[in-house]
Structure 1
Amino acid sequence: MEYTESKTDDIIILKLFGNLDMLNAGILKERIKESSSQNEFKFIFDLAGVHFIDSSGFGLIMSLNDKLAECGGGLRIVNVSKTIRQIFRISKISSVIQIFESTEEALSSF
Structure 2
Amino acid sequence: MEYTESKTNGVTILKLFGNLDMLNAGILKERIKESSSETGYKFIFDLGGVSFIDSSGFGLIMSLNDKLTAQGGGLRIVNVSKTIQQIFRISKISSVIQIYETTEDALASF
Structure 1 counterpart of 2:35: 35
Q: Matches of residues 96-107 of structure 1 in structure 2 within 5 Å?
A: 96-107=96-107
* CA deviation map 1:7-47 (0-9, x unaligned): 00110000000000000001110011102322510000000
* Residues 10 and 39, structure 2, Cα contact 8 Å, conserved in 1: no
Which piece of structure 1 moves more, 83-92 or 38-47? 38-47
For 2:20 and 2:83, locate their aligned partners in 1 and report how far apart those are by CA, in whole Å: 14
Q: Which runs of 4+ in 1 moved over 4 A?
A: none
- Number of aligned pairs? 110
* Superposition RMSD in Å: 0.7
Gaps of 5+ in 2: none
Partner-residue secondary structure (3-state), 1:46: strand
- Tell me how far 1:101 sits from its aligned partner: 0.3
For 1:44 and 1:2, locate their aligned partners in 2 and report how far apart those are by CA, in whole Å: 15
Partner-residue secondary structure (3-state), 1:72: coil
Of all paired residues, the percent bearing the same amino acid is 84
Partner-residue secondary structure (3-state), 2:34: helix
- TM-score w.r.t. the length of structure 2 is 0.98
* Letter matched to residue 107 of structure 1: L
* CA deviation map 1:75-101 (0-9, x unaligned): 000000000000000000000000000
Partner-residue secondary structure (3-state), 1:80: coil
* Letter matched to residue 28 of structure 2: L
- TM-score w.r.t. the length of structure 1 is 0.98
Partner-residue secondary structure (3-state), 2:46: strand
